[in-house]
Structure 1
């Protein structure tokens, strides 16, 4: 049997590893799954798309490498002659240097490792996924796809902080995130709604992580996240924009060090902190607790407020596109956001399902083809 060339996409985090397998020719989805509870009560769940067969395996105490080893073994055990030609990895931070997807080299890994302080809760685990695949599947190509890359063309006016030149030269600037998701939105609009693709669109990636992007002529003009994935909108458990003076006050008043602040601002704030209950929107919507309602009102108010800021960046707005777990599955919150924007007049509203994995697979295929052509 002739092997089917395939691409595997990996999103490696601190406690989970999500993966998809696509046929390289035509990008038909072959398998989807995830490993949850890495380091604790670890389990692999997967589904073969064509047959509907499901796999569920306990992986007690697995780390990122053991989780990926289990994924590779699962693919080998349940495939139909697939050959993984490349692993496409989601990398949160590409800094100023990485403005598009790249084939990973040792030099690439060293540069990306130096960016870990900019995304301490994401980047080290993303890179652990690359290190694991290089050891476990050395014949496959590793491709890095960056959440920051789609925003790389922002003007200095947009990406600068009002800080002294020495700080800005040291890389203290706005980068923006969720770029793979926004690139997919721009691609779908170009294919299905070219009228809007050439217009002024605010894309809202609303999930446990949340941000907005001003899309004009299919390009990112501005976005709400900044130097880290903490800025901008309130999120599931992240604070969003916060007065820097409040941070220094909490350090002095409560004796927080940087690690304690990171934990609070990334893991105990946002909807979770406001409600005192949870970061799960479905639970908050169903709750009768007034703090749950307050948290959701706070969220929709600030999303609408930032939509206005993105409209300013483009000189107006023609459409609002929702994506992500909240954007796709919480119609009540979409209505609340649109209601707050009624003063803008008639603005078309759409829902486009997120598909970062397919966007990553598209990039991996393009790089593999370019590599083959260069070698010919």
Structure 2
């Protein structure tokens, strides 16, 4: 082993982690500590293909990360023997402050914390994890890798909202995007697979959170998430695109408070709001059994995706590749077929056998004669974060 990087994704109530070799991509160990601050806290630690699970309530992130490090010592591999070169931290919002990964010192952490109003559901947890990890692992460099960085140089026409400009400037309102680490990793992989660096490509990151990007010659020129991850595609629990006046209507007519509306749009809408389930597999099962709400949800989901594919093809002046990634994108052949079937006019033609074949490998699923190449490329945000971490830290 050439040394490892510990990748930490610290959320508001969870810590997801992975210890991996940044050169080979081999995962040494991984895990998830959930429900921090609740009596039902739970830890899952996987090493050598074996899962270890236990109830492990933790009062805060300090206790939580201490428990994670203790799990390494108890269940393996001992961190003292793992050759850790650095720690990479996922951070959702880098704002205009950070256009790429950054080595973490006290000043950088404070600047990231100051961006919390732009990502109140994410950055505070990210910062909590960074502070605890720097305290518990003080002898290795720590690096922040931002979800927004890949979209930091979007064309102004794509990044700018038609909001009164002084207000937008005062409150830093613009399109920042999210899932950028995934979009960059996948779009780079597609360019390598197809042997072209001039591709006009669309990446569809479809998981519980979902986003689309338009990438030309390796540079992002548009993306669906905006000031926050709420904008864009239909997601597991988020509305995606919606008339902003719905918020005013809910406030004035429904009497809902700001926090209630925030919770409604972010946590109780999307597939869950339409069907009661945020897991695409459950929605698909309900639709197969004849549930009308589930069928409508799938239709809404696909309709929104097709709108983005069509609009991004127009933005780029053509289309060379469409790539599906993340949990739904990689595993749901029906979604891929339903989304793309009406888009034959763009030159998209699926190979049905290739689309339905089960595989965990990057692959082309379009027909040989298709003018647009369609691919499935598994994302690997942890590996991307680890490699960025090594590049920045020089470890």
Query: TM-score, normalised to structure 2's length?
Result: 0.88
* Distance (Å, rounded) in 1 between the aligned partners of 2:71 and 2:268: 35
Partner of 2:279: 280
Give the match's secondary structure for 2:15: strand
* Distance (Å, rounded) in 2 between the aligned partners of 1:24 and 1:337: 35
Deviations 1:28-70 (A, max 9, x none): 3211221123223122212223xx3432232124432222112
Compared CA separation, residues 215 and 293, structure 1 to 2 (3 A): same
* Distance (Å, rounded) in 2 between the aligned partners of 1:351 and 1:64: 36
* Distance (Å, rounded) in 2 between the aligned partners of 1:216 and 1:270: 29
Partner of 2:130: 130
Partner of 1:147: 147
Give the match's secondary structure for 1:283: helix
TM superposition shift of 1:181 = 0.2
Deviations 1:234-269 (A, max 9, x none): 111001111111111111112222211110010001
Deviations 1:322-373 (A, max 9, x none): 001110111111110011322212322111001000000001111121xx6x
Stretches of structure 2 lacking an aligned partner (at least 5 in a row): 349-371
Partner of 2:330: 328
State which drifts further: 162-171 or 86-95. Answer: 162-171
State which drifts further: 309-318 or 358-367. Answer: 309-318
Compared CA separation, residues 154 and 74, structure 1 to 2 (3 A): same
Aligned partners of 2:150 and 2:220 also within 8 Å: yes
Q: How many residue pairs get matched?
A: 364
Deviations 1:148-205 (A, max 9, x none): 000111111110011122023221111111100011112212332223x421110000
TM superposition shift of 1:24 = 5.1
Partner of 1:35: 33
For residues 233-312 of structure 1, the aligned pairs below 5 Å read: 233-275=233-275, 277-287=276-286, 288=289, 289-312=291-314
Compared CA separation, residues 182 and 24, structure 1 to 2 (3 A): closer
For residues 183-198 of structure 1, the aligned pairs below 5 Å read: 183-195=184-196, 197-198=197-198
* Distance (Å, rounded) in 2 between the aligned partners of 1:141 and 1:332: 44
Give the match's secondary structure for 1:341: helix
TM superposition shift of 1:6 = 1.9
* Distance (Å, rounded) in 1 between the aligned partners of 2:126 and 2:307: 32
Partner of 1:364: 389
Partner of 2:351: none
* Distance (Å, rounded) in 2 between the aligned partners of 1:54 and 1:284: 28
Stretches of structure 1 lacking an aligned partner (at least 5 in a row): none
* Distance (Å, rounded) in 2 between the aligned partners of 1:165 and 1:362: 38
Compared CA separation, residues 232 and 39, structure 1 to 2 (3 A): same
TM superposition shift of 1:104 = 1.1
State which drifts further: 60-69 or 290-299. Answer: 60-69
Aligned partners of 2:187 and 2:201 also within 8 Å: no
Alignment pair present for 1:45 and 2:47:
no
Partner of 2:346: 344
* Distance (Å, rounded) in 1 between the aligned partners of 2:342 and 2:206: 17
* Distance (Å, rounded) in 2 between the aligned partners of 1:44 and 1:210: 26
* Distance (Å, rounded) in 2 between the aligned partners of 1:348 and 1:26: 28
* Distance (Å, rounded) in 1 between the aligned partners of 2:63 and 2:193: 41
Alignment pair present for 1:108 and 2:133:
no
Aligned partners of 2:9 and 2:16 also within 8 Å: yes
* Distance (Å, rounded) in 1 between the aligned partners of 2:257 and 2:87: 37
For residues 79-118 of structure 1, the aligned pairs below 5 Å read: 79=77, 81-118=81-118
Alignment pair present for 1:56 and 2:58:
no
Compared CA separation, residues 27 and 335, structure 1 to 2 (3 A): closer
Aligned partners of 1:301 and 1:340 also within 8 Å: no
RMSD: 1.7
TM superposition shift of 1:140 = 2.4
Query: TM-score, normalised to structure 1's length?
Result: 0.92
Compared CA separation, residues 68 and 245, structure 1 to 2 (3 A): same
For residues 164-175 of structure 1, the aligned pairs below 5 Å read: 164-170=164-170, 171-175=172-176
* Distance (Å, rounded) in 2 between the aligned partners of 1:4 and 1:355: 19
